[in-house]
Amino acid sequence: AEDIPVITIDGPTASGKGTLADETAKALGFEVLDSGALYRVTGLAARRAGLDLDNGEAVAAIVPTLKLSFRDGHVFLGDEDVSARLRAEATGLLASQVAVHTPVRQALHELQLSFRRLPGLVADGRDMGTAIFPDAPLKVFLTASAATRAERRYKQLISKGISANIKGLREDLEARDERDKNRSASPLAPAQDALLLDNSALGIEESVTQVLDWWQQRRPF
């Protein structure tokens, strides 16, 4: 699989990773891996099963039993379309709780590798460049100020008809960033060879253009 190209996009919550990954993949005709969705689905399933989220072994044990499928950008657990549930901020918090455990990260490792298919993959998350695809020829670390990220998440929720409070959102995202940066298992950090992109003042199109330029320079053929 090492000869299948991968672009990794890691960074904190609401920095624009998912949007950048989707648009870059569309431009290149690549597959996408939204690794956060896997942690979200694991957190949701663990909660529904009534598991203690601090018990990493117990949470990891449910991963192989999940009947997960991905169709047209939607995530299914069995026959249930859980996509909307997964996007909820509360599910993001569940995800970050189960994501601290090494057994959970190991249980999801191979599933993530299986997304590496021709003609290539754009993978977004926290440890795509550091732990899952360390050989990726292009690694992007995407950031934006906390104020910008809270405002983006706020607008995103409001546009879906979900009520939100910008101060609460900022507190939640800063708490999640802290947990992601300070855990010992694959913490949120740029890979040594990552290129930093602060998109606080950049639109989506400009960010995609930057990544495509980098890809022209870095792609291995």
Site residues for ligand CDP per CB under 6 A: 13-19, 35-36, 39-40, 92, 95-96, 99, 125-127, 152, 156, 176, 180, 199, 202-204, 207
Closest CA relative to residue 143, chosen from 134, 152, 130, 135: 152
Task: Tell whether residue 137 is among the known ligand binding residues.
Answer: no
Smallest gap from residue 43 Cβ to ligand CDP (A): 8
Alpha-carbon Rg for the chain in angstroms: 17
Task: Tell whether residue 78 is among the known ligand binding residues.
Answer: no
123, 211 Cβ separation under 8 angstroms: no
User: Considering beta carbons, is residue 12 or 120 the nearer one to ligand CDP?
Assistant: 12
- CB nearest ligand CDP: which residue? 36
User: Considering beta carbons, is residue 3 or 160 the nearer one to ligand CDP?
Assistant: 160
Smallest gap from residue 116 Cβ to ligand CDP (A): 15
177, 121 Cβ separation under 8 angstroms: no
Task: Tell whether residue 209 is among the known ligand binding residues.
Answer: no
99, 92 Cβ separation under 8 angstroms: no
Smallest gap from residue 39 Cβ to ligand CDP (A): 4
Query: H or E segment at 178?
Result: helix 166-182
Closest CA relative to residue 20, chosen from 114, 116, 151, 138: 138
Binding site per annotation, positions:
11-19
Task: Detail the residues annotated as belonging to a binding site for ATP.
Answer: 11-19
